Amino acid sequence: MRRSLIVTVAAAVAMVLLAMLVPMAVLLRDYALEDRLSRAALEVQATEAAVSRYGTDRGDLGQYLLGVNRGDGVRTTVLYPDDISVGPDPGEDYDTVQARNTGLARIDDVDEGVEFLVPVSLGGSSAAPADTPVIRVVVERPGLESGIVRSLVVLLLLGVLLLLGALVLADRLGRSFVQPVRALASYAGQLGSGRRPSSPTPDGPPEVRELGAALDRLVDRIEVLLERERAGVSDLSHRLRTPITALRLRTEGLADPGERERLGADLDHLEAMVDHVVREARRSEREGLVASCDALALAAERAAFWEPLAEDQGRAFSVSLTPGDGRVRAAEEDVRAVLDVLLDNVFSHTPEGTTVRVAGAPLPDGGVELVVEDDGPGFPAGVDVTGRGTSGAGSTGLGLAIVEQTATESGGGLLVEASASGGGRVVVRLGPPA
């Protein structure tokens, strides 16, 4: 933002300076020409008087013209009819002859600038051309040799100074904008990583301060909602589990063992469902402001945790984790539960000695793919193993449903298929952090 502001100000100031300096330079040049023309007019008058005074004494006139021509940009020459000239530009041209013959002064544009031709009659008003020398004054257009260059350099320096001053001011202004915004961005970034740092000191423009206050209010609100939800879940847990306890205690009192066992099994199932409901209701409590964890690190941790059991059961247990960014949008506890459910399923539903493979790799667009597969008998045909309540081997049947929920809520998904050997293969894709 700071750089953009500086570039914008530099462009704007440069345009203003260009719009101001270019016409000024043109004006300066015109002014210098005007100045020379005025000087030339005065010199014409003075030389006219000198020619009249010295007459044919060209030596004195030559001295006079030397003095006159000492300045820059204006050259004065007196052209006599006998083709003799005094001054820096000898020789006559058609215009000179015309001026002499007509006795009329003229001003012409020439290559170098402007030319004054003023005939001076030495023999009164009716003097013949032979008695009429012509004063030629050539006024050169102001060029690099004139004082205009100095003025242009001064203007240029002034322009550069103005530009630098504007850039310094823009930088200061930018910093005064950027620093509070940066502090706010850092605050938001820390919130994004799940921490609640102390609020940044209110600083900067009112809009930024207002934004900071709004962000604070929003976080306060989210925390209040999370706390309310936590209390709500605690209450939900209490409300659901207390009557189940009463049911358990009543069931124990039943005289018929068969009836007691059936009701006990129903209560087991109900309890598992309640646990699942409570667990799901606690998801936002677990995730906090932002859900994020390193799924690859957790995969390594959980694989290491289950490895001793594999060893005890004589299973080949291979772990293949591709290094990379393992961050996913899910709470650590949930990803750990995903891995534990998948590994628990393998250990529960495959015979001892069956090979287990765990793999994990970062996905190209962020997130992680976790694969747990085995060489066991595979999933039963025609059964939706991710469906709630679909169970085998006495489990609650919520395992893969929990895995699917975590995967879906992270922006990924679950794929249950057969491994190359016909065993079970579960692929869990977890999305990248928000």
Partner 1 sequence: MAQVLIIEDDARIRPLLMRTLGERGYAVASASTGMQGLSMAVENRPDLVILDLGLPDIDGTQVLTMLRAVSDVPVIVASARDDDPSLVGCLDAGADDYVVKPYTTTQLEARIRAVMRRAGGPAEARGPLQVGELAIDVPGRRASLAGAPLDLSPREFDLLRHLAEHAGEVVTKRQLLTDVWHQAWGGSDKTVDVHLSWLRRKLGETAAEPRYLHTVRGVGVRLAVPEG
What is the contact surface with partner 1 in residues (CB under 8 A)?
A: 234, 237-238, 240-250, 252-253, 267-268, 271-272, 275, 278, 282, 305-306, 308-309, 311-313, 340, 343-344, 347-348, 395-396
CB-wise, 145 or 352, nearer to partner 1?
352
Nearest approach, Cβ of residue 249 and partner 1 (Å): 4
CA dihedral of residues 336, 342, 348, 351 (deg, nearest 10)? -130
∠ CA 25-20-9, rounded to 5°:
135
CB-wise, 46 or 236, nearer to partner 1?
236
For the chain, report the end-to-end CA distance as a whole number of angstroms. Answer: 24
CB-wise, 21 or 270, nearer to partner 1?
270
Nearest approach, Cβ of residue 235 and partner 1 (Å): 8
CB-wise, 45 or 348, nearer to partner 1?
348
Nearest approach, Cβ of residue 242 and partner 1 (Å): 5
Mapping DSSP to helix (H, G, I), strand (E, B) and coil, where does residue 394 land? Answer: coil
Nearest approach, Cβ of residue 246 and partner 1 (Å): 4
By the 10 Å C-beta count (0-12 exposed, 13-18 middle, 19+ buried), 141 is classed as middle
CB-wise, 220 or 311, nearer to partner 1?
311
What distance in Å separates the CA atoms of residue 52 and residue 275, rounded to the nearest whole number?
Answer: 126
CA dihedral of residues 118, 120, 124, 127 (deg, nearest 10)? -90
What distance in Å separates the CA atoms of residue 384 and residue 391, rounded to the nearest whole number?
Answer: 10
CB-wise, 110 or 316, nearer to partner 1?
316
DSSP designation for 129: G
Amino acid found at 325: D
Nearest approach, Cβ of residue 319 and partner 1 (Å): 15
**CA dihedral over 318, 321, 326, 329, signed as positive or negative:** negative
Nearest approach, Cβ of residue 308 and partner 1 (Å): 4
Distances (CA, A) of 220 to 179, 199, 213: 24, 11, 10
What distance in Å separates the CA atoms of residue 79 and residue 50, rounded to the nearest whole number?
Answer: 13
Nearest approach, Cβ of residue 290 and partner 1 (Å): 20
Nearest approach, Cβ of residue 286 and partner 1 (Å): 10
Nearest approach, Cβ of residue 394 and partner 1 (Å): 9
Amino acid found at 262: R
Reference 310, options 366, 365, 369, 375; nearest CA is 375
What distance in Å separates the CA atoms of residue 241 and residue 235, rounded to the nearest whole number?
Answer: 10
Place of tokens 């393998």: 346
Nearest approach, Cβ of residue 203 and partner 1 (Å): 37
Nearest approach, Cβ of residue 317 and partner 1 (Å): 12
Q: Please write down the long-range contacts of 7-10, taking CB distance under 8 Å and 24 or more positions apart.
A: 8/170, 9/166, 9/167, 9/169, 9/170, 10/163, 10/166, 10/167, 10/170
What distance in Å separates the CA atoms of residue 312 and residue 324, rounded to the nearest whole number?
Answer: 31
CB-wise, 219 or 247, nearer to partner 1?
247
Secondary structure in 3-state letters for 169-216: HHHHHHHHHHHHHHHHHHHHHHHHCCCCCCCCCCCCCHHHHHHHHHHH
CB-wise, 250 or 262, nearer to partner 1?
250
CB-wise, 306 or 379, nearer to partner 1?
306
CB-wise, 83 or 312, nearer to partner 1?
312
CB-wise, 106 or 241, nearer to partner 1?
241
